[in-house]
Amino acid sequence: MTNKLEFYRCSVCGNVVQVLLDGEGELFCCGEAMELLKPKTTEGDMGEYHVPVFMHDDEKGTFIQVGKEPHPMTEEHHIEFIQFISEDKKCTGLHYFGSGEEPKMYLNKSVGNQKKCAVEMCNLHGLWKGENDEY
Ligand SMILES: [Fe+2]
């Protein structure tokens, strides 16, 4: 059984997929069941540079930033993407990043003033999740 918006990874080839709609079956890749990726929500002793945080800029509006401290954006260690998810899971947005780019995602005003969540993936440290409780 898979659930909407879950992430799965193939431990053989590294493929990462996301479920668009719930399903009864199990996902396979390279002949093996794919691993469900569960996002981490607390940093522990790694520093505070992975959990997505919601910030506000008077000119550009609300944006998602990866971590309270800047995350490295080198070829070897970087943020692959940020995904915004509305609380009702009816609206999502995905922004990919390359090395050298700043991992920030500005939100369109059409997403409304509801509680929001964001996930991000670091190529070395996996999937992380943060929430915005302001609304
Ligand atoms: Fe990282």
Gyration radius (Cα) of the chain, Å: 15
Q: Structural domain tally of the chain?
A: 2
Q: What is the pLDDT along the chain (135 residues), one digit of tens a residue?
A: 999 999 999 999 999 999 999 999 999 999 999 999 999 999 877 678 999 999 988 888 889 999 888 899 999 999 999 999 988 888 899 999 999 999 999 988 777 666 789 999 999 999 999 998 664
* CB distance 29 to 10 below 8 Å: yes
Q: How far is the CA of 23 from the centre of ligand 1 (A)?
A: 31
Looking at residue 133, its pLDDT comes to 66
**For residue 103, is it within any domain?**
yes
Do 29 and 72 share a domain, yes or no?
no
Q: How far is the CA of 125 from the centre of ligand 1 (A)?
A: 5
The protein residues having their C-beta less than 5 angstroms from ligand 1 (an ion) are: 122, 125
Neighbours of 117 (CB within 10 A): 20
Pair 86, 124 in one domain: yes
Whether residue 25 sits in one domain with residue 66: no
What burial class does residue 59 get, using C-beta atoms within 10 Å of its C-beta: 0-12 exposed, 13-18 middle, 19+ buried?
exposed
**Are 31 and 91 part of one and the same domain?**
no
Residue 16 sits in a domain of what CATH number?
Answer: 2.20.28
pLDDT value, residue 135 = 47
**Are residues 90 and 135 in contact, defined by beta-carbon separation less than 8 angstroms?**
no
The answer to whether position 47 is within a domain reads no
Asked if residue 45 is part of any domain, the answer here is no
Q: Write out the residue range of the structural domain in which residue 16 sits.
A: 7-37
| Per-residue confidence (pLDDT) for residue 132, from 0 to 100 | 84
Cβ partners under 8 Å of residue 129, min gap 6: 39, 40, 41, 51, 52, 117, 118, 119
Dist. CA 111 → ligand 1 center (Å): 28
The CATH number of residue 96's host domain is: 2.60.40.730
- 77 falls within a domain: yes
Q: Are residues 21 and 60 in the same domain?
A: no
Q: Is residue 84 part of a domain?
A: yes
Q: What pLDDT is stored for residue 68 in this prediction?
A: 86
